[in-house]
């Protein structure tokens, strides 16, 4: 059965700290890995990583895909209280025909204290 596992489940840091969130997956027909930030309700897209784009960076956030280890990390440097959220990792897998499905991990709850 396809699965995505995130760690840690929760994390409390202080402003200015650097954090690393982990995501590992076991899926057949991997297509891409996506990171989302969920603050209240709607998850918002952060990054998509594929075989042709294994490293992405945007401001203080960066992510790397390790296809050999079937994992990804999301780094946040110089954390701010506004970074407090649930960070979701999802893997897009190809199923029969031309259909894809997103399989989500349970998320990492990050709390940044002032």
Question: Which residues bind to other proteins, rule: CB under 8 A?
Answer: 31-32, 34, 36, 40-45, 48, 50, 88, 90, 92, 94-95, 97-107
Q: Which C-beta is closer to other proteins: that of 82 or that of 96?
A: 96
Q: Which C-beta is closer to other proteins: that of 83 or that of 105?
A: 105
Q: Which C-beta is closer to other proteins: that of 2 or that of 17?
A: 2
Q: Which of 79, 78, 89, 74 is nearest to 35 (CA)?
A: 89
Q: How far apart are CA 51 and CA 26, in angstroms?
A: 16
- Shortest gap between Cβ of 15 and other proteins (angstroms)? 27
Radius of gyration of the chain (CA): 14
Phi-psi group of 52: left, alpha or beta (phi > 0 → left; psi -120 to 50 → alpha; rest → beta): alpha
- Shortest gap between Cβ of 71 and other proteins (angstroms)? 18
């Amino acid at each position: 059965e396809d699965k995505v596992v995130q760690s840690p489940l929760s994390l409390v840091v202080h402003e200015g700290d650097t954090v690393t969130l982990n995501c590992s997956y076991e899926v057949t027909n991997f297509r891409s890995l996506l990171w989302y930030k969920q603050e209240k309700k709607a998850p918002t897209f952060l990054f998509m990583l594929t075989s042709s784009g294994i490293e992405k960076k945007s401001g203080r956030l960066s992510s790397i895909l390790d296809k050999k280890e079937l994992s990804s990390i999301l780094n946040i440097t110089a954390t701010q209280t506004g970074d407090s959220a649930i960070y979701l990792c999802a893997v897009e897998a190809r199923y029969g025909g031309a259909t894809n499905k997103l399989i989500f991990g349970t998320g990492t709850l990050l709390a940044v204290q002032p």
